[in-house]
A and B are shown apart, each in its own frame.
Chain A
Amino acid sequence: MSLAANTAAPAMRTGDAISFSGVSLTYGAGTANQVQALKDISFDVPAGQFVSILGPSGCGKSTLLRLVAGFIQPNAGSVTVGSVDPLNARENGLLGVVFQQPVLLPWRNVMDNVSFLQELRHLPKAKRQEVAKRYIDLVGLRGFERHMPHQLSGGMQQRASIARALAFGPSVLLMDEPFGALDALTRDRMAFDLLDIWRRDQKTVLFVTHSVQEAVFLSDIVVVMTSRPGCVRMIRPIDLGRPRDKDQRLSPEFLQHCKVLLTELEADIGYH
């Protein structure tokens, strides 16, 4: 498309790398009910790659993303985004977040929700709406600009929230189970669209999920985590080639990846 050619486009900086080295995090440290959520996490998310984190509930996946977003600070170790501290990365507008829920502001229509972050940055109205419009089209919400969130289906709301994150023009996209609240069909469709978008924009994506198939289908690398405390159990490159298509999901290579990852996951939960 002509995305990069458009002068009004946000700085099309390709993805920055994320790096965790020796990261530990304890909630409520020093209190009676402290919880060690992460212990000695080290791995890199290479620039421009799609990396998924796979793990059971409560293993610290959200905590990991919150560290990258700078919402919380590690008790030990360090997190860097494009070689700077998360707080600096945030200030430079490098970080985009998509939550499990759409988190649209119910008093704003789709256009005003998608352009919300650019509004906070004082981008002139015409300009931010132009950018927002492009991403609204990209996620397939053309014609719904004036709709209010409650008039959209769950899938459409989540699309709007993805458009909002993209319109902000971050180099790193953090997605915390973004399709968790969707039905299986919509979920598949969105995963596919997300790959399309990612291919155009070349962002670094850190994607949390507990679906093995979803992780394998989307990712360059899958990181498996175990719980109590959250540790990295396995880092598996997914060498399936790109672009990926739906039929690939039935290929022996694909199923082999799933099998290996599933075995690791089940070992943690103790199902065998």
Chain B
Amino acid sequence: MKTYGSMRFWRNVGYYAPPVAALLVFVALWEVYTRTFEVSVFILPSPSRIFQAGVNLGPALWGHTWTTLYEILLGFLVGNIAAVALAYAIVRWHMAERLIYPFLLASQTIPKLAVAPLLVIWFGTGVMPKILVTALLCFFPTAVNVVQGLRSADPAAVDLVRLVTPSKFVLFQKVQFPSAIPFFFAGLKISMSSAVIGAIVAEWVGASKGLGYLILYAGTSMRTDLMFVGVGMTVILGMLLYAAVGVLERAFSWRREG
């Protein structure tokens, strides 16, 4: 047991060591470069400088992070619930497909940054417009993937169910929905990346907190180091959320290969 555990530990180390090492080398080169050439802090602050700026922000940084996380998660939830409902309607009713598809495509071509101010006019500067922009950005990948997934059900399996029951709901529950699960998670991963972008973009218009606000504020007040703090925190947040979807996928999805 012990040997097996330690074997697995070393295998994990072997797996994660190269990317971590690459990242560390990158940061080190960055640090060396800015120091050697005495690059202006307005143009490219060194990693240590950025880290210091983050520490100086203290609890405020966590406040911004928490606000953005909250917007991402709520927008993600709203967007994906809408996506699954729409996908179901599209597959279930022929008419729904013809009614919904134009809107679906239009929602993708809407310049989100441009409609954000409109949403501020409609819903104020609270959390609501941020959630809506986030939802708008992240629902499309899920909707498209789930439609494809629901349609991926084996026609013979559909016949099999029809042999026993005419119920469309049973067909959905027992064949179409499970068939769509791997597609759903594939969509969810893209959707999560879009949700992060959505929340940041939404905060650029009429926000007083959040990482997007921090980035915008830092930009207008020439605080490049703070800007990097905001961007860095967003990247870390995005990677963690993406990994979280991966964990959910491993727990709930099925795959053909064992």
Q: Residue B256 at the A interface, CB < 8 A? A: yes
Q: Residue B107 at the A interface, CB < 8 A? A: no
Of A90, A95, A106, the residue contacting B256 (CB under 8 A) is: A106
Q: Residue A105 at the B interface, CB < 8 A? A: yes
Judge whether B156 and A121 touch: CB under 8 Å: no
Q: A103-B154, A120-B174, A150-B256 are in contact. Are A71 and B160 (CB under 8 A)?
A: no
Of residues 203 through 232 on chain B, the ones whose CB sits less than 8 Å from some CB of chain A are none
Report chain B residues within 8 Å CB of A73. none
Judge whether B157 and A95 touch: CB under 8 Å: no
Give Cα distance in the complex from A151 to B164, angstroms: 27
Of residues 134 through 171 on chain B, the ones whose CB sits less than 8 Å from some CB of chain A are 154, 156-157, 159-165, 170
Report chain A residues within 8 Å CB of B164. 90, 93, 117, 120-121, 168
Q: Which applies to chain A's interface (DSSP): helix, strand, loop or mixed?
A: loop
Among A96, A97, A119, A120, max chain B CB count under 10 A is at: A120
Report chain B residues within 8 Å CB of A96. 163
Report chain A residues within 8 Å CB of B258. 148, 150-151
Name the distance in Å between B179's Cβ and chain A's nearest Cβ.
Answer: 8
Report chain A residues within 8 Å CB of B161. 120
Closest-by-CB residue of A relative to B155 is A103
Closest-by-CB residue of A relative to B165 is A120
Please classify how large the interface on chain B is, using the bins under 10, 10 to 19, 20 to 34, 35 or more.
10 to 19
Give Cα distance in the complex from A97 to B158, angstroms: 12
Among B159, B160, B161, B256, max chain A CB count under 10 A is at: B160
Closest-by-CB residue of B relative to A106 is B256
Q: A103-B157, A151-B258 are in contact. Are A69 and B163 (CB under 8 A)?
A: yes
Name the distance in Å between B185's Cβ and chain A's nearest Cβ.
Answer: 13
Report chain A residues within 8 Å CB of B254. 106-107
Report chain B residues within 8 Å CB of A168. 164
Report chain A residues within 8 Å CB of B163. 69, 90, 95-97, 117
Please classify how large the interface on chain A is, using the bins under 10, 10 to 19, 20 to 34, 35 or more.
20 to 34
Give Cα distance in the complex from A30 to B134, angstroms: 49
Name the distance in Å between B165's Cβ and chain A's nearest Cβ.
Answer: 6
Q: A148-B258, A150-B256, A150-B257 are in contact. Are A103 and B162 (CB under 8 A)?
A: no
Q: Residue A101 at the B interface, CB < 8 A? A: yes
Q: Residue B181 at the A interface, CB < 8 A? A: yes
Of residues 45 through 94 on chain A, the ones whose CB sits less than 8 Å from some CB of chain B are 69, 71, 90, 93
Report chain A residues within 8 Å CB of B156. 99, 101, 103
Report chain A residues within 8 Å CB of B154. 103
Give Cα distance in the complex from A151 to B254, angstroms: 14
Name the distance in Å between A107's Cβ and chain B's nearest Cβ.
Answer: 4
Of residues 113 through 130 on chain A, the ones whose CB sits less than 8 Å from some CB of chain B are 116-117, 119-121
Closest-by-CB residue of B relative to A118 is B164
Report chain A residues within 8 Å CB of B246. none
Closest-by-CB residue of A relative to B161 is A120
Q: A105-B175, A148-B258 are in contact. Are A117 and B181 (CB under 8 A)?
A: no
Closest-by-CB residue of A relative to B181 is A107
Give Cα distance in the complex from A97 to B162, angstroms: 11
Interface string of B174-198 (1 = CB under 8 A from A): 1100100100000000000000000
Judge whether B178 and A105 touch: CB under 8 Å: yes
Give Cα distance in the complex from A69 to B157, angstroms: 14
Name the distance in Å between B183's Cβ and chain A's nearest Cβ.
Answer: 13
Q: A101-B156, A105-B157, A107-B254 are in contact. Are A71 and B162 (CB under 8 A)?
A: yes
Give Cα distance in the complex from A27 to B72, angstroms: 51
- Which of A's residues lie within 8 Å of B, judged by CB? 69, 71, 90, 93, 95-97, 99, 101, 103, 105-107, 116-117, 119-121, 148, 150-151, 168
The 5 closest A-B pairs by CB, nearest first: A107-B254, A103-B156, A120-B164, A99-B156, A107-B178
- New contact pairs (17) apart from A90-B164, A96-B163, A105-B175, CB-CB < 8 Å: A69-B163, A95-B163, A97-B160, A97-B163, A103-B154, A103-B156, A103-B160, A105-B178, A106-B256, A107-B181, A107-B254, A117-B160, A120-B165, A120-B170, A121-B165, A150-B257, A151-B258
A/B interface sample: 26 pairs, CB < 8 A: A69-B159, A71-B162, A90-B164, A96-B163, A97-B159, A97-B160, A99-B159, A101-B156, A103-B154, A105-B157, A105-B178, A106-B254, A106-B256, A107-B178, A107-B181, A116-B160, A117-B160, A117-B164, A119-B174, A120-B164, A120-B165, A120-B170, A121-B165, A148-B258, A150-B257, A151-B258
